[in-house]
Amino acid sequence: MLPISSSAHLVLLPWLFGFTDPGLAFDVALHVGTLVAVVGYFWREWVDMAVSLVKLAHERKVTSQSQKLALLLVLASVPGAIVGFLLEDYAESIFRSPLLVATALVVMGSVLWYADHHDKGAKKFDQITKLDSLKIGLAQALAIVPGVSRSGATMTTGLFLGIDRADAAKFSFMMSAPIIAGAALLKVSEISTEMLTSGVFLTAMISAVASSLFAIGFLLRFVRKHNFNVFVYYRFLLAGIVLVTFLMRR
């Protein structure tokens, strides 16, 4: 949930330390845990949207901010869903190259730094438009490459669009729910009931819920008073470690 790319860490840590790939059940558990955290943290907004969508089905006209938000989240999810479907095979192979991940960490970190230091920060959460939502959704699609960071790409785009830091972060977190849910549903059909009820799955899911709740709360508070520099520097440091390790292993 932090703009440092969790997918990059899932690729790099086993490569750096020789860990065994924890497998598909672990991956699904992380998706489910993160989804639970996003829905739980913003539960009031999700309930309001659910109620407003029922009204929208009858009235067939957008009359509330909750209805608008629901439609914006759907719109923002479309590019990521299309790209994920088309490039899924690449995401599991070519895109997992440590050097590519390191490059993505540096490039996206640099773009985040630039956007953050040229932040206008005038547009609030309820002023996000359909076009804004689509642009942020297109940025989310880039996160299929580990190292880009879904939250990093979407928050960066929000900053470029003049959205307030905290509101860009909130929209980024909320728009992650549909895409995470979709990814989890696609993968859960590939694992057995025994794997779903295993200790590895349950432990990973609980850990993902706890860490994601912490990350959401921390970042929403942090960005109200601070910039993203610490995350940018961390991305550069991690990329540097990957490059040095790669050269030493040659």
pLDDT tens, position by position, 76-128: 999 988 887 788 776 666 777 899 999 999 999 999 999 999 877 688 988 99
How far, CA to CA in Å, does 171 sit from each of 124, 168, 182? 10, 5, 18
The domain tally of the chain equals: 1
Place of tokens 């920060």: 121
Instruction: Indicate whether 149 belongs to any domain.
Output: yes
- Written as six digits, the tokens of 43 are 């539960």
Instruction: Indicate whether 1 belongs to any domain.
Output: no
Higher pLDDT among residues 15 and 192, named by residue: 15
- Written as six digits, the tokens of 82 are 């299309």
Residues 6+ apart with CB under 8 A from 133: 72, 73, 75, 76, 175
How far, CA to CA in Å, does 237 sit from each of 14, 99, 142, 216, 249? 18, 14, 22, 23, 18
Instruction: Indicate whether 177 belongs to any domain.
Output: yes
Q: Which pLDDT value is given to residue 172? A: 95
Q: Which pLDDT value is given to residue 122? A: 80
Q: Which pLDDT value is given to residue 24? A: 64
Q: Which pLDDT value is given to residue 28? A: 76
What single letter denotes the amino acid at residue 23? G
For residues 31 and 183, the answer to whether their CB atoms sit within 8 Å is yes
Residue 19: is its pLDDT beyond 70?
yes
Q: Which pLDDT value is given to residue 92? A: 65
Please give the share of the chain, as a percent, with pLDDT higher than 70. 96
Q: Averaged over 131-138, what is the pLDDT?
A: 95
Would you mind telling me the total number of residues written for the chain in this entry?
250
Range of the domain at 56: 6-249
Q: Which pLDDT value is given to residue 230? A: 96
Residue 22: is its pLDDT beyond 70?
no
pLDDT bracket for residue 243 (50, 70, 90): very high
CA dist 130 and 145 (Å) reads 25
What are the pLDDT digits (tens) for 166-208?
Answer: 999 999 999 999 988 888 887 777 777 777 777 777 888 899 9
Instruction: Indicate whether 40 belongs to any domain.
Output: yes
Instruction: Indicate whether 47 belongs to any domain.
Output: yes
